[in-house]
Amino acid sequence: LTGVARRAGVADRVRLLGAVDPDDMPALLRSSDLVLCTPVYEPFGIVPLEAMACGVPVLATDVGGHRDSVADGVTGRLVAPQDPEAVAGAARALLSDERLRRQYGRNGRERVLRHYTWSRVADGAEQVYRLTRSEHAVSTEVAS
């Protein structure tokens, strides 16, 4: 990646950090202007949620879990997967509009606090278990 950055002429603006201690991740995210998450496949989308929890806007591919976690035009932007021009254009637009980034960051944090806290997730899982149990309950009564 260092070579790619050098060939692209951006090596002076790119830092490759290697492994980051999980305890340091919130501060690192908060130091960012924008978090990009551009996989082709993503079943849940924890990276956007972590960024949004830190009040950082997200630019993500319109795949899998990103569709649930990132509200396009509200908490960040969703772009087509495997479309580097779309990623670059959306990143350029967001990086040039500090007011919009701040708004997306606030909206993202509110969204995470409203929908993705551990207690909220646990309550949702409990509801699913209760519903499943009641729908598939087997009678334990003995015929006499």
Give the CATH number, domain containing residue 97.
3.40.50.2000
Report the number of distinct structural domains present in the chain.
Answer: 1
- Say if 69 falls within a structural domain: yes
pTM of the model: 0.81
- Which residue is it, tokens 């580097």? 84
Sign for the pseudo-dihedral over CA of 16, 45, 58, 127: negative
- Say if 114 falls within a structural domain: yes
In three-state secondary structure terms, 59 is strand
In three-state secondary structure terms, 121 is helix
What is the model's pLDDT at position 60? 98
User: CB 24: neighbour CB atoms within 10 A?
Assistant: 10
- Say if 61 falls within a structural domain: yes
User: CB 41: neighbour CB atoms within 10 A?
Assistant: 9
- Say if 128 falls within a structural domain: no
- Say if 75 falls within a structural domain: yes
- Say if 16 falls within a structural domain: no
**Mean pLDDT of the region 45-71:** 97
How far apart CA 66 and CA 49 sit, in angstroms, is: 9
- Say if 25 falls within a structural domain: yes
What is the model's pLDDT at position 108? 98
Which range marks the domain in which residue 85 is found? 21-118
